Amino acid sequence: MIIENIADAFAHILHAKTLLLMAVGVAGGLIAGAIPGFTIAMAVVLTLPFTFSMPPEQGLATMISVFVGGLSGGLMAGVLTGIPGTPSSVATTFDGFPMARGGRPGLALGLGVWSSFTGGMISAVLLVTLAPQLARVGLEFQPWDYFMLVMFALTITASLAGADLIKGLIAGALGLLVRTVGEDEAAGIPRFDFGSEVLLQGFDFIAVLIGLFAFSQLLNDVRDPKAARTSLSEKGTMDARIEHLAAIKTLIKHWSVALRGALIGTFTGILPGAGGSVANILAYDQAKKTSKNPKEFGKGSPEGIIAPESSNNATEGGALITMMALGIPGDVTTAVMLGALLIHDVVPSPSFIAEQPVLAYSIFISFFLATIMMVIVQSGMLRVFVLVTRVRMYILTGVILGFCGIGVFAINNVDLDLWTLFWFGVLGFLMRHFGFPLAPMILGVVLGNIAELNLARALAIDSDLTHFVTRPWSLFFLIIALFSAVFPWFQSVRGKQKWTLFYLPGVCFAASVPLFMMGGIPRPIIACVLIAVGLWVLYRRWRNGWVLEAYEGHEIKEG
C-alpha cells in the first residue's frame, strides 16, 4: 500500500508539466528572494491563484518550489550587494558580503548554495521521518487539546513576531474576529453582517491574506518616492561564477556547522510563528559560539555563511512537519499552503497523512526535488537573477498590484473579493504603520474557524471547562503558551533581572507535569529528563552565585 501511494505520488510529480512548473517556481522564488523588499511569503501568496485549476499535488509542488527557491534567493543579493534579499538571509550577509568583497564571491555563493542544499535535504529527511510520528501523536488530540494548540500557536507567533507582545496578541485576536464575520459554520446563523449581503458571505480568507500581506507591503515599499524609483541592488559585483568544488570541500570540512544549522532550522520551523528570519540568526550565533575562530566571524568566515544558509532552508521542512502532522501552519507561507489545501477541500489534520497519503508523499517528493532543482537553476541563471534585482521598485509594485486584482478575482469569480483585497490592504498598511505585526493576524484568520469548531465540539461533548486544564495535552499547550507569552519580557530583561535565571528551569518543571500525566513509558522519561535539565541549570547558577550573565544576541524581526 505504501509503495503504491509513493508510486502514485511520483507519477504526479514526475509529470512533465509538474516538473516544468516546479522549475518555473524555483526560478520565480529565486528572483523573489533576490529582490530586497520582496518577501518569500509574498511570492508564495502570489503563486496561489495560479494553482486553483491545478490538481492539489501539482499546485502544492509549485508552491513548495517557490518557497525553496525564495529561501535560497536571498543569499544572492546578500552576498553580492550586501543587502539581504529576505530576512531569512540577514546573517548570511555578515560574512557573505565581506568574503565577496575580499575577492571570493564565487566561493561565498557556492557555500551559500550548497549549504542551502544540505539544510534542505536534512530537513526533508526529518520531514519524511518526523511528520508521520508527530501525526500519530496528533491523533491523540481531542477538541480541548486542539483548541489549546491553536491558542499556543497564536501566542507564540505574537511573542516572536514583533517587539510588542500586546500588539501581537491584539493582531491575533483581530484575525480570529475577521473569521467570525458571515454565517456561523456550525449553525449557519448570520454574524456581524449589519444587514449587508456582502458581509453575510464573509471574507474570503485568501483575499484577506493577499490584502493584508502583499498589498500592504508593496505600498510600504513605495512610500518614499525617491526610493521607489531606484532599485535596491545597484551596487556590488556582477561577474561571479559559483565555485562548486571549492565550496563542497569547505562544506565537508565544516559538516558539523551545516548539520547543527539544519537541526536548528528544522526545529525552529516546527514552532508556529518562528521561521527562517529567526533560525538564521540563531544558527549564526551558535556557529560563532562553538567556532575555533570566532574572531573571523564578520570578516568572511565560511562558517558564518554555512550556518545561516543551512538553517534557513531547513525551516521549511520544519514548518511542513507541523502543517502536515497537526494541521497548524508553522509560518505565513505554510498558512498560505494550508489555504491552498482548503481550496481543494483537503483539510489538514493529524489524520491528513493517513487519509491523503498520495498528497502527503507528493509534498515529500516535491520538497526533495525542489531542493535539487534550486542548485541547478541557481547555478545556471545567476547572472539573470542579479539583473532582475535591478528592476525599479515602482515597476514591480505596479505590475504586482495589477496581478493581485486578476489573481484574487480568480479565486471565486466574485467582484466582492477584490474589495476585500482593497480594504484589507488598507488595514494591513495601517497596522504596519502603527507597529502591529501581521503574522499573528494572518494565523488568526487561518486558524479562527479551527479554534471555534473545536471549542464547539469540546463543549458539545462536555460543558465542563476544567477539561482544558485537566487533560494532559491541553495543559501542556496551555503551559507553553503562558511561557511563550512571557518570552518577550524575559528576552528584554535577560541578564538584568534575577527572575530570568529561573525562566528555563521553570519551563522544564512546568512542562514535565502534563508529560507525567500522559502516562506510558517514553513521556515520563522525557519528563524526568526535563526535570534533570532544570535542576542542572539551577545547580550551575547556584554555583555561580546566582550571578546574572550578560547576554549578547542579535535582534530578531518579523519575516
Partner 1 sequence: MERLNRDTIVAVFLLLFCGVMFWASFDIREPDYGMLPPSAWPRVILTLTSFLSVIYLVRSLSRGPDGPGAYPGEPKSLLGWIAYWRNPIACFALFAGYLSAIPWFGMLISGIAFVFCLLTFLGGWSSRRLLLHAAVAIIAVGGMWSIFTYGLRVLLPTGEWTGI
- Could you list the residues that contact partner 1 (CB under 8 A)? 49-50, 52-53, 166-167, 169-170, 173-174, 176-177, 180, 184, 186-187, 189-192, 194, 218-220, 222-225, 228-229, 392, 394-395, 397-399, 401-403, 405-407, 409-410, 413, 415, 418-419, 422, 425-426, 429, 434, 451-452, 455-456, 459-460, 463
Q: How far is the CB of 43 from partner 1 (least distance, A)?
A: 15
- 242 phi-psi bin (left φ>0, alpha ψ -120 to 50, beta other): beta
Tell me the CB-side half-sphere exposure of residue 252, using CA atoms within 13 A. 5
Question: How far is it, in rounded angstroms, from Cα 463 to Cα 446?
Answer: 26
Write down the least CB distance from residue 53 to partner 1, Å: 5
User: Which residue lies nearer to partner 1 by CB, 192 or 539?
Assistant: 192
**Minimum CB–partner distance for residue 404 and partner 1 (Å):** 9
Nearest-approach distance from CB 435 to partner 1, in angstroms: 8
2 vs 187, beta carbon nearer partner 1: 187
The beta strand positions in 64-214, using DSSP E, are: 182-183, 190-191
Nearer to partner 1 among residue 180 and residue 291 (C-beta): 180
Residue 270 beta carbon to partner 1: minimum distance, rounded to whole angstroms: 26
Residue pointed to by grid coordinates 536571498:
74
Between 219 and 537, whose beta carbon lies closer to partner 1?
A: 219
Instruction: Specify whether the CB–CB gap between 67 and 316 falls below 8 A.
Output: yes
Q: Are 150 and 440 in contact (CB under 8 A)?
A: no
Closest CB 117 distance from partner 1, rounded Å: 31
Q: Would you say 51 or 72 has its CB closer to partner 1?
A: 51
SS (H, E, C) 200-243: HCCCCHHHHHHHHHHHHHHHHHCCCHHHHCCCCCCCCCCCCCCC
Distance CA 122, CA 106 (A): 24
CB nearer to partner 1: pick between 131 and 450: 450
Nearest approach in angstroms of CB 185 to partner 1 is 9
Bridge partners (DSSP) listed for residue 182:
191
Complex with partner 1: residue 10 or 409, whichever CB lies closer = 409
Query: Hey, how many other C-beta atoms are within 10 angstroms of the C-beta on 189?
Result: 8
Which of 10, 31, 52, 21 is closest to 343 using CA atoms?
Answer: 52
